[in-house]
Amino acid sequence: IPRRIRRFFEFVRPDAGIFSLSQMPMELSWGAKHASRVLCSASNGSPISIWVVGTLSRLTVSCGTRDMGSTTELVIEFLRSVDQEQHGRLLLLGRSSTEFRATRRSRVRSGAQLLDAFYDATSDFTDKTEMLRVSPTFFAVGDVVLAECMCIRRKRDPGCGSRDWSSWGTEFELVSMSVLSGVPRRLAPIVRDTFTDHL
């Protein structure tokens, strides 16, 4: 694994609430009030941003109606066993998994809104305002990617009307995604059609 990629594996910045998956703090808690669904640091109650690095296995983007919303789903393969083990602990699986899955569901009053936080970090990773934003189609299976996520809990029966968290499941919510190292691309040739008019 290249040295540059290894730096992301071990990255920690507690003051910003950023931790790579294997460097998560030992003391964790669910947030209070409006942040009760988000995993936070027990020391200050701030939400934690989790960095996960792996090879891209699948990226699916679907745009639905205003009622259904849009969904972005990411699946990556872990590069290290220590990340597999930590992933299993966070999801309360009781076992490790070679596959990491993160989802982002979006819905706004005016209609479905797609996640647009995709970046090219093959040469540099810095403040998002200075990074090149790309389309989801920029990514390819096999790319080494960085997924920035929040660990959240979701009620198993959201329609029951209960305000407490008596029954819930844990999952990862995708915040942004960056390609750190890409596999070789091969562009399909442009096929000339027979359209000759001018519009």
Task: Give pLDDT, residue 185.
Answer: 79
Per-residue pLDDT for 94 more than 50?
no
Instruction: Average the pLDDT over 72-80 and give the result.
Output: 93
- DSSP sequence for the chain: --HHHHHHHT-EEGGGTEEEGGG--S-EEE--GGGTTBEEETTT--B-EEEEEEEEEEEEEE---TTT-EEEEEEEEES-HHHHHHHHHHTT-SS--SEEEEEEEE-BTTB------EEE-SS----GGGSEE--GGG--TT-EEEEEEEEEEEES-GGG---S-SSEEEEEEEEEEEEEEPPPP-PPPPPP-S-----
The dihedrals phi and psi of 128, each to the nearest 5 degrees, come to -60, -30
Residues 6+ apart with CB under 8 A from 64: 70, 71, 112
* Mean pLDDT (whole number) for 179-197: 79
Structure tokens at 135: 């389309």
* pLDDT tens sequence across 102-140: 888 775 555 556 788 999 999 999 999 999 999 998 999
